């Protein structure tokens, strides 16, 4: 009985819950802001990198190599290390505006760099999944390579990868908590402070609830899209 009571007090104490709520909610606004800005940037940059990686011809080889080096590096490096590099490294450079941005901006840059590498691969898989005959059909009509990409290949590719993109979106939104290590006072950072103050772990639960409140609807929406596609594809098979 005693153990249960202790668990209750450490994790679920309603009093602490109410006390922690306002500060963590304020911190969570920062998570949301980082998430939205980074996600928009990631969606744009990743598509650009994916297209560069697929450019044909020997002339584009250096660009392709650069794109590959980029994705390899940032997919292989833990976010926390990138965060230190950006959050502490850039200000230390004393390079004009690069070194004087807000700490939240460094957080956005960190997440954008890392997630762009992941999402590039998602887009690339989508582009490659569009059958070669679609490109042949587009080119045979006299469309240029970039017109074929823009009007025929990329729209089909993006539709196909929306579920995995949303999946990465969920990952990104959780990882906004990681940038607390460079001093961004977002929800997790607040929770840590409050936990020490109140002497229990309830603030972490509060923070977790906020994250889950966003991720669960996103996950269900993704499931819904996948199911919808499966229904459509089954219908087409007949």
Partner 1 sequence: MSEQAAAAGNGNVPFVHVQGVSKWFGDLQVLKQIDLDVSEHNVVCLIGASGSGKSTLLRCLNLLEHVEEGEIVVDGQPLTNSKIDVNALRKKIGIVFQAYNLFPHMTVLQNVTLAPRKALGVQRERADEYARSLLRRIGLEEKADEYPDRLSGGQQQRVAIVRALAMGPKLMLLDEITSALDPQLVSDVLNLVRELAESGMTMIVATHEMGFAREVADKVCFLDAGRILEEGRPEQIFTQPREPRTREFLARVLEAEKLG
Rounded Cα–Cα distance for residues 122 and 104 (Å): 26
CA–CA separation, 66 vs 87, rounded Å?
Answer: 24
Min dist. Cβ of residue 131 to partner 1 (A): 8
Our finding on whether 238 is near partner 1 (CB under 8 A) is no
Closer residue to partner 1 (CB): 36 or 141: 141
Write down the least CB distance from residue 96 to partner 1, Å: 43
Instruction: Quote the CA–CA distance of 107 and 188 in Å, as a whole number.
Output: 14
Judged by beta carbon, residue 89 or residue 163, the one nearer partner 1 is: 163
Q: Please say which residue, 78 or 155, places its beta carbon nearer to partner 1.
A: 155
**In the bound complex, what is the minimum distance in angstroms from residue 230's beta carbon to partner 1?**
15
Q: Contact 123/46 with Cβ under 8 angstroms?
A: yes
**Residue 162 CB-half CA count within 13 A:** 14
| b/e sequence 1-18, b meaning 16+ C-beta within 10 Å | eeeeeeeeeeeebeebbe
Separation of alpha carbons 172 and 35, rounded Å: 7
Q: Contact letters (x/-) for partner 1, 82-111, by CB under 8 A?
A: ------------------------------
Inter-residue contact 182 to 88 (CB < 8 Å)? yes
Q: Which two tokens stand for residue 55?
A: 């450019």
Show the site string, 126-165: x = touches partner 1 by CB under 8 A, - = not: -------xx-xxxxxxxxx--x---xx--xx--x------
Distance of CA 215 to the CA centre of its chain: 12
Least Å from the CB of residue 48 to partner 1: 21
- Cβ distance to partner 1 smaller for residue 147 or 197: 147
Q: Is 186 left (phi over 0), alpha (psi -120 to 50) or beta?
A: beta
Q: How far is the CB of 62 from partner 1 (least distance, A)?
A: 23
- Residue closer to partner 1 by CB (options 97, 238) is 238
Beta carbons within 8 Å of 30's beta carbon, 6+ residues apart: 104, 176, 184, 185, 186, 187
CB nearer to partner 1: give 218 or 225: 225
Binding residues for partner 1, how many (CB under 8 A)? 18
Min separation Cβ 227 and partner 1, Å: 18
- Residues forming the site for partner 1 (CB under 8 A): 133-134, 136-144, 147, 151-152, 155-156, 159, 236
């Amino acid at each position: 009985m005693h153990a249960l009571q202790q668990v209750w007090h450490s994790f679920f104490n309603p009093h602490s819950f109410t006390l922690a709520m306002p500060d963590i909610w304020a911190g969570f606004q920062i998570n949301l802001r980082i998430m939205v800005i980074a996600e928009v940037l990631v969606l744009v940059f990743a598509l650009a990198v994916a297209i560069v990686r697929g450019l044909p011809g020997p002339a584009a080889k250096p660009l392709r190599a650069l794109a590959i080096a980029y994705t390899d590096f940032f997919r292989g490096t833990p976010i926390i290390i990138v965060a230190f590099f950006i959050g502490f490294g850039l200000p230390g450079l004393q390079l004009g505006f690069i070194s004087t941005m807000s700490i939240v901006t460094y957080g956005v840059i960190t997440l954008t760099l890392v997630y762009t590498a992941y999402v590039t691969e998602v887009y690339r898989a989508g582009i490659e999944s569009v059958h070669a005959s679609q490109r042949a059909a587009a080119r045979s009509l006299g469309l240029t390579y970039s017109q074929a990409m823009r009007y025929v290949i990329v729209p089909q590719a993006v539709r196909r990868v929306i579920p995995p993109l949303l999946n990465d979106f969920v990952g990104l939104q959780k990882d906004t908590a990681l940038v607390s290590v460079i001093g961004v006072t977002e929800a997790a950072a607040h929770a840590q402070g409050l936990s020490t103050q109140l002497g229990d772990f309830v603030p972490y639960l509060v923070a977790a609830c906020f994250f889950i409140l966003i991720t669960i609807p996103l996950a269900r929406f993704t499931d819904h899209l996948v199911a919808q596609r499966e229904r459509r594809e089954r219908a087409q098979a007949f």
